[in-house]
Amino acid sequence: MVLFPNCKINLGLHITAKRKDGYHELETVFFPVPLKDVIELIRSDELHFQAYGLAIPGDIDTNLCVKAYRLLKQDFSDLPPVDMRLYKKIPMGAGLGGGSSDGAFMLKALNDKFQLQLDDRQLREYAGRLGSDCPFFLVNQPCYATGRGELLEPVALDLSGHSIVFIHPGVHVKTAWAFAQLKPARPERSIKEIIGGPLSDWKTFLTNDFEKPVIKEYPQLASLKDKLYSAGAVYASMTGSGSSFFGIFPKEIDPVFPAEEDFQVVRLT
């Protein structure tokens, strides 16, 4: 079985409250984009995980594909061992949710391949135990997200007349550090309301709370949004807790960047 887990961008991101369980309340709109990893899943005599492509930091046991398998194994003791091969193409520590997508896709693949009979609600419950934004990748359509990011409401959002360009500067932002920089607060306007308005208004009203502290820590990121707007973006922002920035462009514009060799640019049409 071969899987193609995609990534996401955040259209706006507000951290609204600190919870008693240590997590944060947030609001955002998750939007799926077709930059994808590749996972091959094969029945095996023992559990095995091998990664290729971009180097993945940390121990194998911390990988969300492996965690997804072990999470299901706790409740399905007859789940056979598998060989997982991950080709990593989505940058890590970049706010794109690639690891969460890998884990969510693995849950669904194991459920389908071994006929565990888990319904959508049960899969989303397991995904929420893996990570706050994992449930989104089981829905994989534009969603207004609240709670920890696991409460999802599909929204009508059509960007088919546009293209998306990522700039990944090669900086790995640790999520725990990024959250520690913020003071949660309720915004004056809901992201859901802003997203429902004209795309031309997003530049003025749609914000990501993480941008300011991340740019303060990594001043070299300060110019990325300006480069996207200078190239013709209708809207540009950092995604997640960073460090990637993205721009939304009219499809008739083919953006050109003067120092493209300094960072990775990915064009998605």
Residue range 130-151, pLDDT digits in tens? 999 999 999 999 999 999 999 9
Q: Is the pLDDT of residue 210 over 90?
A: yes
Phi, psi of 262, deg, nearest 5: -80, -10
Residue 41 DSSP one-character state: E
Residues 6+ apart with CB under 8 A from 66: 47, 49, 60, 84
Compare 71 and 91 and report the one with higher pLDDT: 71
Domains of the chain: 2-154 (3.30.230.10), 162-268 (3.30.70.890)
Mean pLDDT of 211-219: 94
pLDDT tens for each residue of 164-188: 998 888 888 888 899 999 999 999 8
Q: Is the pLDDT of residue 69 over 70?
A: yes
Helix orientation angle between 64-75 and 120-130, rounded to the nearest 10 degrees:
130
Q: What percent of the chain has pLDDT over 90?
A: 78
Predicted structure pTM score: 0.93
Calculated CA dihedral for residues 145, 96, 174, 65, nearest 10 degrees:
90
Q: What is the pLDDT of residue 269?
A: 65
pLDDT band at 26 (very low <50, low <70, confident <90, very high): very high
Query: How far, in Å, CA of 162 to CA of 59, rounded?
Result: 39
Instruction: For the beta carbon of residue 124, count every other beta carbon within 10 angstroms.
Output: 20
Q: Strand 143-146 to strand 151-154: parallel, antiparallel, or no bridges (unpaired)?
A: antiparallel
Q: Where are the beta strands (DSSP E) in the chain?
A: 2-3, 6-18, 24-36, 38-43, 48-53, 82-88, 143-146, 151-154, 162-168, 235-238, 245-250, 264-268
The residues that bridge with 247 in the sheet, in sequence order, are 165, 236
pLDDT band at 63 (very low <50, low <70, confident <90, very high): very high
Q: Is 59 a catalytic residue?
A: no
Highest mean pLDDT: which range of 120-124, 157-161, 254-258: 120-124
Arithmetic mean of pLDDT over the chain: 93
Q: Is the pLDDT of residue 126 over 90?
A: yes
Q: Is the pLDDT of residue 260 over 70?
A: no
Q: Is the pLDDT of residue 261 over 70?
A: no
Calculated CA dihedral for residues 208, 210, 211, 212, nearest 10 degrees:
120
Q: What is the pLDDT of residue 262?
A: 63
Which listed residue (67, 102, 108, 133) is catalytic?
A: 133
Query: How far, in Å, CA of 79 to CA of 110, rounded?
Result: 9
Which listed residue (8, 108, 225, 227) is catalytic?
A: 8
Query: How far, in Å, CA of 58 to CA of 60, rounded?
Result: 7
Q: Is 18 a catalytic residue?
A: no
pLDDT band at 160 (very low <50, low <70, confident <90, very high): confident
Q: What is the pLDDT of residue 23?
A: 84
Query: How far, in Å, CA of 12 to CA of 240, rounded?
Result: 9
Cβ-in-10-Å burial (0-12, 13-18, 19+) of 256 comes to exposed
Residue 81 DSSP one-character state: P
Nearest of 242, 248, 166 to residue 202 by alpha carbon: 248
